[in-house]
Amino acid sequence: MLQIGTVVEGKYKVLNKIGQGGMSIVYLAMNERANRQWAIKEVRKDGIDSHETMRQSLIAETDMLKKLQHPHLPGIADVIDNGDTLLIVMDYIEGNPLSQAISELGALDQKDVIAWGSQICEVLDYLHSRNPPIIYRDLKPSNIMLKPNGEVVLIDFGTAREFKEGRADDTVALGTQGYAAPEQFGAHQTDARTDIYTLGATMYHLLTGHNPSEPPYVMHPIRHWNPELSSGLEQIIAKCTQRDPDDRYQSAAELLRALERYHELDYEYRLAQNRRLHLFLFALASSAVFLLGSLGFAFAESSQMKSSYSSLINQAQDLASTGTVQEVASLYTQAATLDPTREEAYTEMLRMIKADQDLDEGENQILRRMLNENSGTPVTNIEQFRAGNPAAYDAFAYDLGIAYYFIYDGSGDKGKAEVWLKAAGESTSLGRQKAELAKRLAFIAENYEAFLKGGNAKGGVSSLLSDDEFSPRNYWDEMVALSEGDLTAITGNTFMAIGFYKELVYQLHEHAPIFLGGGISEEEILKQLDKAVSGLRSLIATDPEEQGLIERTLRLANDTRGIVQATAANRVLQQADPTGSLDNVSDGGDLGNVTDGGENR
């Protein structure tokens, strides 16, 4: 055991013991030079040697966390071999596990549980979007730390695993009875839907105070325990905890959307809305004599609100050059909550966080909090914006969808972009060019998973091309249409125009075998590649970053030409040799090395 006062590696001074498990002890330590606290997890090696499963879990935890960066995950600073023990230096998370909150308070407030569940959805979506996906598998209140600011952090990755495409089941069945999904103890491999089940079970415990890991191991509908809970939330928990994974939410993003709109499922809410409408009409009819006075009061109130709204927007803009993103965002959020139907707060917030042409996860969290704030009402800011100002909402949805598609996390996230682009694509006020562009991007985002699966699934490209539900030609037509016309005029800036050309070049670079195998000729592909090169060379870069992006994309285009030509030649050879396999040339052997080191993505 480490002794209190010990200095590890000359910089981490052990202050006290803060936790202990079966084979490990956790200490609070201070790096006095950096004036920062850390947690040190000390694991006995003799324990590791005699427990192979736990040894593998420890390795998994450290290896995974070193690769991950997310506001709701701890980071690892050092892994130190200390002779008989292994020391893992990680972020110290101030706060207590949610299991302690349940122990002290019983069932917890519904609004808090929904907020925590939404944060966990965001971190699960991040984990599941890694390549390969990371499945957490042991979500429960004791593995969720609640910080003093109300945010949560997911800890203890000892049972997490990377999803293995094509594997029938897990190597080791791990999880906590009651919270664990049925497939964790059966013959099937765990996947993202396993974490959906465990989150549902965790929220059930937090909402009801009844532990699903204790007899009789039954999860009743949550309103069996508390009739005041939301019927919409009851439906969500029930769907999360279905025995068949196909009957659950299929992704953390889908569950997050449901939690953000849980009240829309409430029977009581819909009934109350109708009742309020009837009461309002009755009051209006019986109080006509006061109509003019009421209108005058409403006008005065509206004027005061507009003044306060404008004041908050002005404060935020004045603070933008000197304050932190969080400080400025707080002012925009206050403005949006004061009048959710006005667009300035949303558009200015989005402009601020994408100013550097990179929308990172921390900025995404800030934006989501603003959109989902509800000021104590059942309806969120973004829902009121959509209902009260549809034209401005459509424009915002378009801008946010484009940002997610091209610049989220450095390279874009098609999954996050899809829902916003679909909304923009249905707009009648956005303008034909932008609406069509949004539709095409939404189509590509929706179908892009087929490419990823085609490259990884058993049967590879051949399997994808034989799938009746996937059409390479349709995908090709939509993708080619993206680079038509004056992209600078359509998108509004050179950086986004480069992004559209880059998207075309990247898709050709990565998926030439799929296009060629799907009936798109070598001539068609090279023609589009030439158009992209010509378009890139016609753009006028306004700063070194844009010029560098153009140059990298042109280099990628040159590499892509070689890949397309070589893949097409290999197909000709294969047709002459029927014993060959299309999948064997999906990368063309050495063709896999003809890339740009990944930087062009």
CA distances for 218 relative to 113, 114, 213, 230, angstroms: 20, 22, 9, 20
Lookup: tokens for 567: 């893949």
Looking at the DSSP bridge assignments, the partners of residue 89 are 40, 78
Query: How many Å apart are CA 237 and CA 145, to the nearest integer?
Result: 21
Break the chain into its structural domains and give their ranges: 7-91, 96-268, 296-388, 457-593
Domain formed by 7-91, architecture: 2-Layer Sandwich (3.30)
Query: How many Å apart are CA 539 and CA 128, to the nearest integer?
Result: 37
Identity of the residue numbered 42: E
Pair 72, 139: CB distance under 8 Å: no
Burial 467-480 (b: 16+ CB within 10 A, else e): eeebebeebbebbb
Using the structure block, give the residue that is written with the tokens 């097409």.
568
CATH number of 96-268: 1.10.510.10
Bond into 390 cis (ω within 30): no
CA distances for 117 relative to 94, 100, 198, 206, 259, angstroms: 19, 17, 11, 10, 8
Please tell me the predicted confidence (pLDDT) of residue 541: 80
Pair 11, 63: CB distance under 8 Å: no
Beta-carbon contacts of 89 under 8 Å, excluding residues fewer than 6 positions away, are 8, 12, 29, 38, 39, 40, 76, 77, 78, 79, 80
CA distances for 248 relative to 174, 192, 200, 474, 529, angstroms: 20, 10, 10, 30, 42
The three-point CA angle 157-161-164 to 5° equals 165
**Same-fold call for 7-91 versus 96-268:** no
Q: Which of 264, 285, 267 is nearest to 275 (CA)?
A: 267
Query: How many Å apart are CA 67 and CA 75, to the nearest integer?
Result: 9
Instruction: Evaluate the CA torsion angle 265, 271, 275, 277 in order and state its sign.
Output: positive
Query: How many Å apart are CA 45 and CA 82, to the nearest integer?
Result: 10
Query: How many Å apart are CA 475 and CA 103, to the nearest integer?
Result: 53
Instruction: Evaluate the CA torsion angle 337, 367, 369, 313 in order and state its sign.
Output: negative
pTM above 0.85, yes or no: no
Quick count: other Cβ atoms within 10 Å of Cβ 4?
12
User: Residue 135: helix, strand or coil by DSSP?
Assistant: strand
Please tell me the predicted confidence (pLDDT) of residue 298: 47
Lookup: tokens for 368: 């989501």
Lookup: tokens for 576: 């002459």
Q: Give the long-range contacts of residues 350-359, CB within 8 A, separation 24 or more.
A: 350/396, 350/399, 350/400, 350/403, 352/320, 352/325, 352/328, 353/325, 353/329, 354/403, 354/407, 357/407, 357/495, 357/545, 358/407, 358/410, 359/403, 359/404, 359/407, 359/408, 359/409
Using the structure block, give the residue that is written with the tokens 């956005």.
430
User: Residue 384: helix, strand or coil by DSSP?
Assistant: helix
Lookup: tokens for 526: 């090279």
Please tell me the predicted confidence (pLDDT) of residue 270: 53
Q: For the chain, list residues with pLDDT below 70.
A: 21-23, 45-65, 157-175, 185-188, 267-307, 374-378, 448-470, 489-492, 577-601
In the sheet that 152-154 helps form, which strands lie side by side, from edge to edge? 96-97, 144-146, 152-154
Backbone angle region of 386, left / alpha / beta, with phi > 0 → left and psi within -120 to 50 → alpha: alpha
Please tell me the predicted confidence (pLDDT) of residue 195: 92
The per-residue pLDDT for range 381-430, each reduced to its tens digit, is 888 899 899 999 999 999 998 888 888 877 788 888 888 999 998 998 88
If residue 362 lies in a helix (H) or strand (E), which one and from where to where?
helix 361-372
Please tell me the predicted confidence (pLDDT) of residue 359: 86
- Report DSSP state, residue 3: P
Burial 276-293 (b: 16+ CB within 10 A, else e): eeeeeeeeeeeeeeeeee
Pair 92, 189: CB distance under 8 Å: no
Q: Which of 402, 425, 400 is nearest to 498 (CA)?
A: 402
Looking at the DSSP bridge assignments, the partners of residue 31 are 12, 36
Identity of the residue numbered 576: A
Using the structure block, give the residue that is written with the tokens 């929706």.
446
Pair 431, 415: CB distance under 8 Å: no
Please tell me the predicted confidence (pLDDT) of residue 153: 92
Bond into 227 cis (ω within 30): no
Lookup: tokens for 452: 């990823």
Lookup: tokens for 243: 């025995």
Please tell me the predicted confidence (pLDDT) of residue 60: 61
Query: How many Å apart are CA 458 and CA 529, to the nearest integer?
Result: 30
Quick count: other Cβ atoms within 10 Å of Cβ 71?
16
Please tell me the predicted confidence (pLDDT) of residue 319: 87
Please tell me the predicted confidence (pLDDT) of residue 122: 92
The span from the first CA to the last CA of the chain, in angstroms, equals 47
Please tell me the predicted confidence (pLDDT) of residue 295: 46
